[in-house]
């Protein structure tokens, strides 16, 4: 099963960027399976495996879900004090890209909701999610890790049939990229790393 | 920088198991740096990069920290109703392995605490943590994702100098493995995956 994930791990990690502009081409079911089975291999507390994957690849449900995602995305922006695109700081381009995704997600070929059978198990959900995203990258499939908003959750549960006691942790639209994978900008590691005492820079700084 | 992470990503993911028995051999600083820089490449919300890595490779602090880890581990077991090893269900071997780690962690060559400058950003901490663990695997370094316990947190902050408002999300002892990497047992993916409606099995089931 793992043998199609042949990309060197460094290449996958160092070229994993948020891909928000997606082609409509469908993702093969065998690729969805491989991504999920890679995800399952990540650590989880006590091997209790609380994680569940809710896959949407039916255009009808994606179209309905897309409306809720759009509403959720703007609800998050309003929480931040932004009422329209004119309010976004011009230098922070991510808002504009993410706004576009909120418009276009209704046409994504694949959306996966990472869920768990209980709340408070983020440390058993997000390592698998990262495996899912890296496996996608290795297969040439783009993805973005996004969240929803309380204002739409009841309707998301109703639309998907996800029981109320199953928590939805994040929403991952996926598809072949329009545009390219590539490097991301991060702080120098010396600024976020401490050795043996807080405030002590690493030896490579 | 990424070029030493040449292992195929599928091999790393499908052979990443918890490695709790560690050799005392030190981990090279260039490997620590590479693991952290790989971790930083994982997604985080809005690229705000709240994550911080607190690295312990000084035997003196690891020895002190090891006592707190041991106490935290048993505090967690007591929360679960286990007061000694005799209370553990015989068939659940992980308890015995993890108990051994709690005894031996004081001699680990490397412990990394994954932190963030605020609480509630698990979805910006655990994707990087998973990159850290996978990069370790690709370098032949074993690791386990563990947590601490409220009873020791004040003393951990005091020992490490980590400010009270910096949250410690998890504790990752690392070292070259005594024993082998290898496969993990997971549920069949068809049991944890739903397609388009909750309860609808995937096409591969």
Q: What is the CATH number of domain B2-191?
A: 3.40.109.10
pLDDT tens digits, one per residue of A61-112: 999 999 999 999 999 999 999 999 999 998 888 899 999 999 999 999 999 9
pLDDT tens-place string over residues B138-177:
999 999 999 999 999 999 999 999 999 999 999 999 999 9
Q: Which of A194, A202, A204, A205 to mutate to test the interface with B (most CBs of B within 10 A)?
A: A194
- For residue B42, name the pLDDT band (cuts at 50, 70, 90): very high
Residues in chain B with CB shorter than 8 Å from the CB of A197 are 61, 160-161
Output the pLDDT for position B164. Answer: 97
Nearest residue to A126 (alpha-carbon basis) of B6, B31, B51: B51
Facing A189 at nearest CB: one of B4, B36, B58: B36
Q: What is the mean pLDDT of residues B42-63?
A: 97
B192: nearest CB among A42, A52, A193: A52
Chain-chain contact of B94 with A196 (C-beta, under 8 angstroms): no
Does the pLDDT value for residue B78 go beyond 70? Answer: yes
The contacts of residue A7 (CB under 8 Å, 6+ apart) are A137, A138, B8, B9
3-state helix/strand/coil string of A31-64? HHHHHHHHHHCCCCHHHCCCEEEEEECCHHHHHH
pLDDT tens digit sequence for B58-69: 999 999 999 999
How far apart are alpha carbons B159 and B138 in whole angstroms? Answer: 31
Range with lowest mean pLDDT among A25-39, B20-34, B89-103, B187-201: B89-103
3-state secondary structure chain A: CHHHCCCEHHHHHHCCCCCCCECCCCCCHHHHHHHHHHHHCCCCHHHCCCEEEEEECCHHHHHHHHHHHHHHHHHHHHHCCCCCHHHCCCCCCHHHHHHHHHHHHHHCCEEEEEEECCCCCHHHHHHHHHHHHHHHHHCCCEECCECCCHHHHHHHHHHHCCCCCCEEEEEEEEECECCCCCCCCCCCHHHCEEECCCCCCCCCC
Cβ-nearest to B29 among A45, A162, A204: A204
Q: CA of B94 to nearest chain A CA: how many angstroms apart? A: 7
Number of residues that make up chain B = 205
How do residues A176-193 score in pLDDT, each as one tens digit?
Answer: 999 899 899 999 999 999
Note the pTM of the prediction, 2 decimals: 0.97
**Angle of helix B150-160 versus helix B59-79 axis, rounded to 10:** 170
Domain chopping of chain A, boundaries: 10-191
What's the start-to-end Cα distance of chain A, in Å?
41
Rounded to whole angstroms, the Cα distance separating B40 from B34 reads: 10
Chain A nearest C-alpha distance from B179 (Å) = 18
Pairing mode, strands A142-143 and A110-116: unpaired
Chain A residues with beta carbon closer than 8 angstroms to that of B8: 2, 5-9
Residue B202 clears pLDDT 80, i.e. is over it: yes
State the average pLDDT over residues B72-86. 96
| Number of neighbours of residue B115 by Cβ within 10 angstroms | 22
Q: What is the pLDDT of residue A93?
A: 87
For A7-24, the pLDDT digits (tens) are: 999 999 999 999 999 999
Closest CA to B64 of B157, B174, B168, B163: B157
How do residues A158-180 score in pLDDT, each as one tens digit?
Answer: 999 999 999 999 999 999 999 89
Of the candidates B54, B131, B203, the beta carbon closest to that of A194 is on B54
ipTM confidence score: 0.97
A124: burial class by Cβ within 10 Å (0-12, 13-18, 19+)? buried
Task: Check if the beta carbon of residue B190 is closer than 8 Å to that of residue B32.
Answer: no
**Average pLDDT for A118-139:** 98
Q: A133 and B202: CB-CB below 8 Å?
A: no
Which strand ranges, in their side-by-side order, compose the sheet holding A193-195? A193-195, B51-56, B110-116, B167-175, B142-143
Nearest by CB to residue A47, choosing from B94, B195, B202, is: B94
Q: Which residue is closest to A191 within chain B, CA to CA?
A: B52
Per-residue model confidence (pLDDT) at position B2: 54
Segment B70-90 mean pLDDT: 96
What is the per-residue pLDDT across B94-130, written as a single tens digit (0 to 9) for each? 899 999 999 999 999 999 999 999 999 999 999 999 9
> Across residues A116-132, what is the average pLDDT?
98
pLDDT of residue B91: 85
Interface with chain B: mutation pick from A41, A53, A55, A63, highest number of B CBs within 10 Å: A41
A163/B145 Cβ within 8 A: no
B14 vs A38: CB contact, 8 Å cut-off?
A: yes
pLDDT, one tens digit per residue, over A38-70 is: 999 999 999 999 999 999 999 999 999 999 999
Fold of A10-191: NADH Oxidase (3.40.109)
Taking Cα atoms as reference points, which of A188, A202, A170 lies closest to residue A18? A170
- Token output for B204: 């591969």
The pLDDT, as a whole number, for residue A2 is 54
């Amino acid at each position: 099963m793992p043998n199609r994930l042949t990309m060197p791990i460094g290449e996958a990690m160092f070229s994993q960027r948020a891909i928000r502009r997606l082609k409509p081409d469908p993702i093969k079911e065998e690729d969805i399976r491989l991504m999920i089975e890679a995800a399952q291999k990540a650590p989880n507390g006590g091997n209790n495996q609380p994680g569940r994957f809710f896959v949407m690849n039916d255009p009808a449900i994606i179209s309905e879900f897309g409306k809720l995602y759009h509403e959720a995305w703007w609800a998050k922006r309003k929480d931040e004090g932004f009422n329209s695109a004119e309010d976004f700081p011009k230098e922070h381009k991510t808002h504009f890209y993410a706004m576009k995704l909120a418009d276009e997600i209704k046409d994504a070929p694949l959306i996966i909701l990472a869920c768990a059978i209980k709340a408070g198990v983020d440390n058993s959900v997000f390592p698998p999610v990262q495996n899912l995203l890296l496996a996608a990258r290795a297969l040439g499939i783009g993805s973005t890790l996004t969240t929803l908003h309380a204002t739409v959750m009841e309707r998301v549960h109703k639309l998907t049939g996800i029981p109320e006691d199953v928590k939805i942790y994040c929403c991952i639209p996926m598809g072949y990229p329009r545009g390219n994978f590539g490097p991301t900008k991060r702080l120098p590691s010396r600024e976020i790393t401490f050795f043996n005492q807080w405030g002590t820079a690493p030896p490579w700084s």
